[in-house]
Amino acid sequence: MENETNKIPGIGDQPEETPLYGYRNREVFYFYDQDKGYIQKVVPHNNIVQVLIKHGWDVSEDKIEGIRKKAEAGLVSPIAFHMARCLMDTVTLAGYSGFPKWRVRRHLKPSVYKKLDEKTKKRYAEVFGTSVREMEQLTSSDQTEKGAQ
């Protein structure tokens, strides 16, 4: 007979649903069993949560595409596009690149970006996991891999 402490009310009680988008997001819950100590249970998200997650990613992708168009039009630097692609803000990028926040914000301006030396651009490219050439062409290695498939 199954130990009643292994049951978490509302967790895993629902029947398995088929994934809406071909993948299944999961969540880990921890609970305490007096015999075994802490136990984890991995529970797949239901379809409602999948829709919410998918909507969040769709909004992010729309934002990234908008910034890409601005970068192609010369309104922002390529750093802005890759910063959005990597889901970073200026504070996060400053932390990873080692530049002060004010310099990162300044480098988002296309006029300032054009004057950056190769060493600075390379530092940003390393943070974004791409080359300087790919960074300036608004592509990345993960996009070229997707296109090759």
pLDDT in tens, 75-113: 999 999 999 999 999 999 999 999 999 999 999 999 999
pLDDT at 59 over 80: yes
Average pLDDT over residues 12-40: 71
Q: Report whether 132 contacts 146 (CB < 8 A).
A: no
Average pLDDT over residues 20-42: 78
- Per-residue pLDDT band at 53 (split at 50, 70, 90): confident
State whether CATH 1.20.120 applies to domain 63-140.
Answer: no
Start-to-end Cα distance in the chain:
50
Q: Can you give the pLDDT at residue 49?
A: 78
Q: What letter does residue 25 receive in the DSSP assignment?
A: -
pLDDT at 43 over 80: no
Helices in the chain by DSSP H: which ranges? Answer: 47-72, 78-85, 90-97, 101-107, 110-114, 118-128, 132-136, 141-148
Question: What span, in angstroms and rounded, lies between the C-alpha atoms of 15 and 119?
Answer: 55
- % of the chain exceeding 90 in pLDDT: 54
Say how far residue 29 (Cα) sits from the centre of its chain: 23
Closest C-alpha to 41, from 53, 50, 49, 29: 29
pLDDT at 38 over 80: yes
pLDDT at 41 over 90: no
**Distance of CA 143 to CAs 36, 62, 70, 110, 129, Å?**
46, 16, 19, 23, 12
- Per-residue pLDDT band at 19 (split at 50, 70, 90): low
How would you label 103-113 residue by residue, b for 16+ Cβ within 10 Å and e otherwise? ebebbbebeeb
Residues found in the chain: 149
- Model confidence pLDDT, tens digit, residues 115-128: 999 999 999 999 99
